């Protein structure tokens, strides 16, 4: 009788430890996917800012070369910044 109680206790402990391990693994997977999302968002924002600054520089060069007027330059810049 005592051995059955000991085996049941050991089984309960084993199930509890397995539950904790599975929970920790799932948290790690979720954290890794969140990190990837955040890194991708940061990278995309940086690319968008680089593209935005290069577009504004192109507009400025066109304005300085006389291809577009000051009014067109301002409108195009505002459109890019929105």
Instruction: Compute the average pLDDT of residues 28-43.
Output: 77
Q: What is the pLDDT of residue 3?
A: 93
Distance in angstroms (rounded) separating the CA atoms of residues 19 and 64:
67
In contact, 77 and 59? CB cutoff 8 Å = yes
Helices and strands, number each (H, E), in the chain: 2, 0
More confident residue, 67 or 8: 8
One DSSP character per residue, 20-54 reads: HHHHHHHHHHHHHHHHHHHHHHHHHHHHHHHHHHH
Does 33 score more than 80 pLDDT? yes
First to last CA, the chain: 77
Q: What is the pLDDT of residue 4?
A: 93
Global pTM?
A: 0.45
Kindly state the percentage of the chain with pLDDT values over 70: 85
How high does pLDDT run on average in the chain? 85
What does the block give as tokens for 30?
């979720």
In contact, 73 and 60? CB cutoff 8 Å = yes
């Amino acid at each position: 009788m005592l051995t059955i109680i000991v085996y049941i206790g050991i089984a309960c402990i084993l199930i509890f430890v397995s539950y904790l391990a599975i929970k920790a693994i799932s948290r790690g997977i979720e954290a890794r996917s969140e990190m990837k999302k955040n890194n991708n968002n940061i990278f995309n924002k940086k690319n968008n800012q680089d593209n935005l600054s290069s577009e504004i520089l192109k507009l400025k060069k066109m304005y300085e070369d006389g291809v577009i007027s000051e009014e067109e330059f301002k409108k195009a810049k505002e459109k890019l910044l929105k």
